Amino acid sequence: MGNMLIVYRNYLDAAALSGGAWSEGLPLENLAHPHPSRIARSEGAASGSCWFEADFGARSPVSFAGILNHNLSQRGAWRVRLHNGDAEQPELDTGMVPIWPRVVPFGTGHWGEFQWGGHLDTRTAETYGIGAYALLPAARRVRYVRIDLEDPDNSAGYLQAGRALIAPAWTPSVNLQYGWSIEQVDESRIVKSRGGQAYFDAKPKYRRLRFRIEHLDIDEMLANAYELERLKGTGGDILAMVDPEDTAHLHRRTVYGRIAETTPIVNDVYDRYSKEFVIEELY
């Protein structure tokens, strides 16, 4: 199990976006909207036409890139390049890689259940708003990040994606503590009639992730957890991966949302600090 990962400083919020051919009604700028349901849509799906570049205005450390709620098929691919002025000579290049997560090693699924290439099946992916994540081996200080999307045979005839994330991810030096939890929250209202029939006012379900980080020194706690809450409050967006190495359940244990409640940083013992987090999913 790897240490959890938290993303909260999203450079895309203040970056200049350009590139590709995007719909006037669903423009490229929608990638900077905190709700993944606010999508950017390309004008077509032709190879080489769906890409964008973010200009931060100055060199900044980047170790994570992601796009949420995309419609690329299981044949789709993406490429992330970090550079300082020439995308053909990048500081880091992931190459064109499959965009769908591999959740089941080939040949290890349940009898009678087949998932092509070990990828999540389409119907399940739609209920999660499938996301793609690039965890880079080390942070690079760059001014530009270019992301290319490829899926020329997409049946929709266009490519689309919701929120995009380009950031320096925080991996706490001490992992989250046992006792963390994730739950499905259903706020649907149920009313029973005198005859015993149940009537439902259905509302969308969302996930709630609770965890606690302990035994951090003052520098790490204040530079990350303190700044996270100061910058985001209860309205800003944050992404938390419980275990980035668990690809089989990455879609289940990764929550993009907001801080549901502020909590104190606690000095438990000499020179060591702790903090609890509660994150509720955003759509």
Give the pLDDT score at 113: 47
- For the whole model, what pTM was predicted? 0.90
Give the pLDDT score at 114: 45
Q: What is the DSSP letter of 22?
A: B
Inter-residue contact 103 to 174 (CB < 8 Å): no
**Structure-token pair, residue 1:** 């199990």
- Between CA 126 and CA 120 the distance in angstroms is 10
- pLDDT < 50 positions in the chain: 106, 111-114
pLDDT digits (tens, 9 = 90+) for 174-223: 999 999 999 999 999 989 888 888 888 899 999 999 999 999 999 999 99
Give the pLDDT score at 1: 78
Which residue, among 256, 30, 66, 23, has the nearest Cα to 156 in the 3D structure?
A: 23
Which residue, among 89, 88, 13, has the nearest Cα to 57 in the 3D structure?
A: 13
CATH 2.60.120.260 placement within the chain: 5-167
- Between CA 11 and CA 14 the distance in angstroms is 6
Give the pLDDT score at 104: 62
pLDDT digits (tens, 9 = 90+) for 254-271: 999 999 999 999 999 999
Give the pLDDT score at 109: 52
Inter-residue contact 164 to 17 (CB < 8 Å): no
Write the CB contacts of 30 (distance below 8 Å, at least 6 apart in sequence): 38, 39, 40, 162
Report the top-level CATH class of 5-167.
mainly beta
Write the CB contacts of 159 (distance below 8 Å, at least 6 apart in sequence): 41, 42, 45, 50, 70, 71, 72, 76, 149, 151
